[in-house]
Every structure is written in structure tokens, then in C-alpha cells.
A and B are shown apart, each in its own frame.
Chain A
């Protein structure tokens, strides 16, 4: 009781302190120093209609590369910690016919929609991370509906590595062509798609990177699900 009330009091003090300092942040006022620049220049500098993805992939692409890495670490870490010589799924109850048939029917639609999200990252809300997560949901669906379903590990692992390498390679190509790492060579050097803003084939390298991220995130999250669902089997 004493412990709990002390904790509550401490949290209240911290909350008050944070609220006090939040009161000093000028919300709603014009503090958009860098933000205004993005809004003014996003179309002609990156070719993307979606300002968020333009910032995330193009202006601050370095952060996204880092976030992709964080996810990669998470899946590698889970893989390392749950590694056993032989692992198998030990689920017992078979799903009902309605569930299995439904999942089978739904699977291609979910994958299709996930791909739609990451391919249209420069036009509509979304991008590589939500698209990839949607695709992983499709695999989760199969895992839940079928007792013995397993993703093709070898292929998934290699695809994941290749997609990550692809991202870095796009960046290194920018270094070779434009002189800067992660330089948008498609838009700024080749000026490909300049007359096409707002349509699918525009947006410089954003759709390419988002496709790579989508594939990577999709395979990674599926891998995490797979690792966590399996248990060690002893002979």
C-alpha cells in the first residue's frame, strides 16, 4: 500500500513537471521552421505527393535506413535467442473448415493489398512499413489456421538479406552518381518522371525503396512469428 501510494505520488509529480514544461511549447503557433520548407518544396524536389513518405525516405532517408536496421536486429535477435537444433510446430487443434477455407481465400487478397500499400507509398498514406506488416498478417493468418504450416525459411531469410542489401545499394548508387549517400539519382540526375507527378511512375526512388522495405518488413515479421510459434523437439 505504502509502495503503491509512493509510486502514484512520484508519477503525479513527474506528470505535473512534464505538463508544466509542455505548457512552454508553443503549440499551434508557427514554429514550422524546417516543416514549412518540406511542405513548400516536396513536389519539385522529390516528385512525391505524399509529404510524409518524401521526408521519411528522401529528406531523412538516413533515419529510415536505421529503422529498417532496427527491425532487422529485432528479427535477428529473436532468431538468435530462440535458436534450437531442431524446432517444430507443436500446435494440436485443427481449425474449423470455415476458418481454413476462409484463410486460404483471404490470403491472396491480404498480400495484394499489402503490396498495393507499399507500391503506392509516394501517393497514398502508408508505405513500406504498413505494407510489410499487412503482408506479415497474411502469413500469420496461415499460421493460425493450419496446424503444420511453415514459411519457406531459406528463401525468406535470403530475400530479407537481399532486400536490405538492395536498400543500401540504392544508396551507394546515389553516392556513385550524385556524390551523396542515399542521393535520389532517379529524380535529380535522370529527372525521370518529372512530367508525371501524382501518377504511379513518379516519385524518384521512393517507390523502389518502399518496395524493398515492404518485402523486407513482410519477410522479417513473418520470420519472427515463425520463430516464436515453434518449440524445441527432442528425440
Chain B
């Protein structure tokens, strides 16, 4: 089949979001099932793209409008994008099913549109090969995220959304200034073309431009000084949306930052920007873990934990070595699985028992054994115990960190992991060894998703090889810029 059909990954969520106003008269149930149907089709397309890319080993280049880059915009669906577009689609599908139970607030038609567009934005950010197009998709992602954060219409939600909106607005303005600087210096917006021209940019412009781009993306990617919005937004957003934020919205931002970093490899001042990111990432891990320790609300605690794991990914991606990037991508995959599971289970507890405060978790092992099991496996995996998936990726990150000479960063992460173990074990203790309660019937669909994710975590924990090879290929896609440039069919423009 023609590779250009991969553009359906963008076209399908868009056209289906525009279609929602026409079917909203059919009632809430219909809109929710429609959402499930569309995300299932999207997962099917993403699965086809994934198998195509990994079978041939060649990236799919979608050229919008038939114009060759850099004149037109191209999507670059290489090993990384194929993998993550699949993850985005599958997580969205799961969360669409979860939404059946989790979202009762009106108006459901608007929720469905925003849900689809959040998925679209993340897909676009991961797939695009053009920096201005990246900005557009980033705006789609973040503006949907603002609206969805405030969707529950409580005072807290409004406050969280406002914080997010102000920070995000400032971040994207900086991002736009960065694009303007780089465009002014090179005359092109295409990433592959930029990679070729990066060496010739004036040192000051390159440094400022790159720093502004990274700064802008750091808001989306929740790096330390700019992540104040995240815990509030995670807590206030509807449960399925929180899982989506943690599983792929942040990852899209962090991937975009990594992609831009490596594209600009040739520019002078590159290594100092790299050092800045490593420092920010290490601080993110440290601060977020200690903040998580103090939380009384489980959803908020996991939100902080998610931020710290993201810091770890950023740390690995900014090491500047191939081993680091591969480890970072592996951690991205594992973290997406674990956090999707945790937010699903915790959200379900919140719905069933009315709130996610730690008291509600007492006796959960007796009341909702399946959900309790899901939370436990997710927690143990997040700590990084052997036999669970995150063990392998954390190990790889630490080894890569030592290899790259950032022993202080590794020490900081290891120290923070001890803190992480403390609060997760406290949660597990509360679930299994305190409290009493009646059995509550658990929802079959949510239970099935949870069991599937639990099995996946244990499977990767025991046989990490298949997923490790996939992540290695995806990591090489980011790191090996020469190959990236070779894959994009640039046309010669200019003198």
C-alpha cells in the first residue's frame, strides 16, 4: 500500500472531530461509543504503519500536498514515530473505553472533540519533520490540554488550567521567537534541511535560538523550573485525560526537544545547551520525588512521580550519547505503560469510592482486589524492582549516565529512587494491610485493560529483548541525524 496513506493518522482524528457536532443529537452514549470506534480505527492505522516501518526498515515520508521538502511540509514516520504513534493510539483507545465510566460531566460532545484533537496533536508532534509545523501541533496539543484540564468546572480545575495556560502561553511565545531566529539565520524550516545548515549559523544565534526552543518545549515537557502547572493539572483533569497527559502528551514534548537538540548537533554552543538540559532534568527528578513524598492525595502523588520519571527520560536523552538516547526511549515506552495503568487504576478508585485521597485506599485489597493488584504492580514497577519493566530501562539510563561522565546526576537519580520506593511502599502497605471493607463489583472492561497492562509490564520485565530492540531502533532514529537527513528527499533550493 502507498505510504502516503499514513497521512490518515492526521486526517482521521480531524475529520471525526469535525463530525461530532453532526451526531451529538443521538445522545451521550452514542458519542462515547463513537469515540471508541474512532480511536480503534486510529489504532488499526497506527498498527499498519508500525508494521510497515519495522518490516521494511525504511521510514515513511508523507509529503503534504505533494511538495518535496523543504518547500512543502513532510511528516517523517521513522522507527520512533511509528512506535509512539502506535502507543498514542492504543492508550487513547483504552482511555476512550475508560471514559464510558469516568466522564459524566456535560457536555460530552465537546469532550469527545477535545479528546480526539489531543490525540491528533500528540500524533502530529511526534510525526512532523518541520519546525513550524511542530509549533502548530504543539499549539493544538496544549490548547486542548488547557480546555480539558478545566473540563470538570470545579474551582481547582479552573485554577490549574489558568496556571497551565499562562505558563504554556509564555513557553510557546518563546518557542516561536526561537523559530524566528533560526529561520532568520538559515532561511529554512525543514528539520533535515536545518541539520545540514546548522553548522553555518552564527554561534550566538544558534545558542539563543536553540535555548529558546528548548525553553518553550520544557513547559510541555515538565522540566524543573517550568513544571509548576503539572501536578495541579494532573489532579484536576478528568481521569482518562490525566492518563493521556502522562502517557503521551509529555512524551511528545520531550521527544520534540530531543529531536531539535540532535538536529542542531552541528551548531556551535550545542554542548552548553545539552548541559543545561541535563541539569534541569536532574533537578526535575530530585524536586519531584521529594514533593511526591509529602502528598496525601494518591493521584497527585503519582503525578509527581510521573514528573520525576519524565526528568529521568530527559536526562537520558540529553546525555548526547547513543546509549543514553536508546535508554531514554526504552524508558519512555515503559513509563507510558506503567503510568497509563496507574492513572487508570487510581482514577477508577476515585470514581468507585469518590475521591483519590489516601484514606480511600485503605483496605482496597479487600474491596477491589483487581484494581488493588493493578496499583501494586504499577507501583512496584515504577520503583524499578527487577522482574518489572522499568528495572531494565532505569538500569540502562544509569549505566549510560555513568558512561557519559555524569556521575553526580546518576547519584541524584539513585538517591531520588530511594525516596520513590518509600512513598510507593507506603501506598502498597495502605492498600493491603490496613482497613476493612465490603467487596465492590469491578467493571469488566476496565479490569480487562488493567490486566492486559499488568501482563505487559511483567512480560517486558522477564523478556525485555524484543522491546529493547524496538527501542534501540527508535533511539537510533533520533540519534543518527546523518541517516535522518539521508532519508528525507530534499530538493535543492537556493544558490
Contacts and interface: CB of A to CB of B under 8 A. Distances in A.
Interface of A: 17-18, 20-27, 30-38, 58-63, 65-67, 69-70, 72-74, 76-77, 79-81, 83, 85, 157-158, 160-162, 164-165, 168-169, 171-172, 174-175, 178-184, 188
Given A21-B208, A31-B187, A80-B111, A161 B151 contact: no
Given A21-B207, A25-B184, A160-B21, A69 B493 contact: no
B133 A62 contact: yes
B181 A161 contact: no
B11 A22 contact: no
B65 interface: yes
A192 to B, nearest CB: 17
Interface string B165-205: 00000000000010001001111111001000000001111
A79 B107 contact: yes
B174 to A, nearest CB: 10
B64 A180 contact: yes
A114 to B, nearest CB: 22
Given A17-B208, A81-B147, A161-B21, A34 B188 contact: yes
Residue picked from B20, B124, B186, B205, most chain A C-beta under 10 Å: B205
A169 B4 contact: no
Given A32-B494, A38-B71, A70 B186 contact: no
Contact of A79 (B65, B66, B110, B193): B110
A47 to B, nearest CB: 14
B184 A18 contact: no
A105 B18 CA distance: 34
B414 to A, nearest CB: 35
A157 B21 contact: yes
Contact of B139 (A58, A70, A158, A178): A70
Interface in B397-447: none
B64 A168 contact: no
A23 B203 CA distance: 11
A69 B120 contact: yes
Residue picked from A27, A30, A161, A184, most chain B C-beta under 10 Å: A161
Interface residues of B, number: 66
Contacts of A30: 495
A74 B73 contact: no
Contact of A21 (B2, B63, B120, B205): B205
A73 B139 CA distance: 10
Residue picked from B14, B20, B133, most chain A C-beta under 10 Å: B14
> Would you call the interface of chain A mostly helix, strand, loop, or mixed?
helix
Interface of B: 2, 4-5, 7, 10-11, 14-15, 17-22, 62-67, 70-73, 106-107, 110-111, 113-114, 117, 120, 124, 132-133, 136-137, 139-140, 143-144, 146-147, 150-151, 153, 177, 181, 184-190, 193, 202-205, 207-209, 493-495
Contacts of A58: 65, 67
24 contacts: A22-B181, A24-B204, A25-B202, A34-B70, A38-B71, A58-B65, A59-B72, A60-B132, A61-B65, A63-B132, A65-B14, A72-B17, A72-B117, A73-B117, A76-B110, A79-B110, A83-B106, A161-B20, A162-B18, A172-B11, A174-B65, A175-B4, A181-B11, A181-B65
Q: Which 8 pairs of residues, A with B, have the shortest CB-CB distance?
A: A77-B147, A21-B208, A164-B18, A24-B202, A66-B136, A181-B7, A180-B66, A33-B187
B15 A168 contact: yes
A25 B205 contact: yes
Contact of A80 (B21, B62, B110, B132): B110
Contact of B209 (A21, A27, A79, A169): A21
A168 B116 CA distance: 15
A59 B10 CA distance: 17
A67 B66 CA distance: 20
B184 A188 contact: no
Contacts of B66: 174, 178-180, 183-184, 188
Residue picked from B11, B153, B181, B189, most chain A C-beta under 10 Å: B11
Nearest to B137: A66
A212 to B, nearest CB: 11
A35 to B, nearest CB: 7
A37 B11 contact: no
B72 A60 contact: yes
Contacts of B495: 30
Contact of A37 (B17, B132, B139, B493): B493
Given A31-B187, A72-B17, 8 more contacts: A21-B208, A33-B493, A59-B67, A73-B117, A74-B143, A79-B107, A80-B110, A80-B114
Contact of A25 (B124, B181, B203): B181
Contacts of A77: 110, 114, 143-144, 146-147
B70 to A, nearest CB: 5
A70 B146 CA distance: 12
